[in-house]
Each structure stands twice: as C-alpha cells, then as structure tokens.
Amino acid sequence: MSAAPETMPAPGRVLALMYHGIHAGRASRGHFDPRYSVHPDRFREQVEYLHEYNRVGWLPVAGEALLAPPSARDHNMVLITFDDGDASLVDAALPVLAEAGLGAVFFVTRNFVGQRGMINVGELRQLSAAGMVIGSHGVSHRFLNTLSAAALEFELEHSRAFLEQSIGREVSLLSLPGGRGGKREIEAAARAGYRSVFGSVPGDNRNTAPGQVIERVAVTHDVTLERFRQIVHWKGSAAWRIQARHLALRWPKRLIGDRGYDWLRNAWVRGT
C-alpha cells in the first residue's frame, strides 16, 4: 500500500486510538459488539496505513514513549490502545500488529481475565512477551467516579498488582472504565503508582504530562479507511462528527446519571 504524505499536526501532539474487539461476526472468538467490533480486514487496512506513516515520521508508539518529557518528543505520535481484554485481541489484533512492527497498549480488566470470550493469563503473558504494553482497566470495570475512597483504592491497587504478578513487569498505565473520572481519581491513580491515565473524550492531546488525562478516539465498526485517515490527522468531517456525537450524549449523561446514560447509549447502539 502506498499513500502520499499528508500534513502533520504540530510536533509533540498525541492522537490515541481506542479499540475494543476485532471480529468478523458474531461467531468470532470474543464478545462481538455491533458498534465497537472492527472487522479484521478493516483493522489490517488501518494498521497498514499507520505503518506507512511510521516510515515518513508519523510515529505509532507504545505507552512508554508518553512518559518521556514533552521536549524529548520531536515526533507526532499515534497510540493504539485496546480496552477490556477481549479474546479477539490475541487472535486477530496481535498478528497484524506484529507483522507491521507496531506496538499497542492493552488495558485489561482484572475480573475479566479467564472469563468466556476474554483473554486468559497465558494470553496476557503472550501479549507482554510480544512487546505489547499491558495497562490496568480496573478490577471490576465499575466506574471509578462512583466509588468510595476505599473501593477506589482497591480497584486501582489490586488490578495493578494482579497484572504485574501475571506478566512480571511494571504496570504504570490506567484506562478509566467508561472514561469516568476526574481530579480525585487522577490523584488516587498517582498515589497507586500509575504514571499515565487514559480517558475517552474524542480529540488529540497536546499535553500528556502527569495529572493530565490522555483522551482517546474510539474506532468503531463503520470507520472506513478515508474516515480513519481523517481521525488520525484529526481533521475533516470525521473529526467534527465524532465530537458532535460526544457532545450530544454528554448532556443526557449529566441529567440521568451513569446508569441511565448507559441504558440510553446501549439502546442507541442497538438501533444503529
């Protein structure tokens, strides 16, 4: 595949992509989701596009590069991330990433490990041994902003301890379940030993310093290659449509709370 180089955003900006599962259909291993399951062919096409830009200065990296001081980052970065720990990530995502020589961050929910359709401890180690970065996505996937101080501490510390024991490496990245969290959760994560916290508000990131949530753009089933290009460069109709949808859902969440919002969002997804 070949593509002409495009104009890049200002140096030092980070665009983080968020995936959940790579499925050809409901029969695929893992948990198929009508909105968030990306077809393997589309995922390969997207990875090939990122690989092309790796050669011309558009640098997909794994999480550790974000820990470098901003002055040390003289490239724009695209960061590939996955949430939850779906089994398809080992079967369908890892081989494509390895073939392209690209890294990614896999945020894993502790209680999901070993469950039907989710990765097991052996596969968790396989991802780590392949050079992928393992991060925490909590113990139970409960929204951290709804928890007591003690429950929040448990979610942060026990998920990290389990993952570190499983892979024999430090775990320093956290993805907020449901993207829910604010100042209290960020400060608690820092006390628990996390160096970077990831959210899910769509947009690129100009500041990834400690204390700043690194926001991400969800890649969904309907993202064509042209839309993907616009997302990666964060411009064009794809970017503003994603932001418009996020804003449209933000007010219902505030009015009816997290549980009501999730019901509304899932109903919307089932209808799309």
- Which sequence spans correspond to the domains of the chain? 14-234
pLDDT tens sequence across 154-177: 999 999 999 999 999 999 999 999
**pLDDT tens sequence across 36-88:** 999 999 999 999 999 887 643 334 444 555 555 555 555 568 889 999 999 99
More confident position, 251 or 186: 186
Residue 203, pLDDT score: 80
The DSSP output letter for 105 is E
More confident residue, 200 or 26: 26
Residue 201 has pLDDT above 60, yes or no: yes
98-107 per-position pLDDT tens digit: 999 888 999 9
Tokens of residue 253, six digits? 């969440």
105: left (phi over 0), alpha (psi -120 to 50) or beta: beta
Region 188-192 average pLDDT? 96
Q: Is 14 helix (H, G, I), strand (E, B) or coil?
A: strand
Condensed to tens digits (0 to 9), the pLDDT of residues 94-137 reads 999 999 988 899 999 999 999 999 999 999 999 999 989 999 99
DSSP state of 212: S
How far is C-alpha 49 from the chain's CA centre?
A: 18
CATH, domain range 14-234: 3.20.20.370
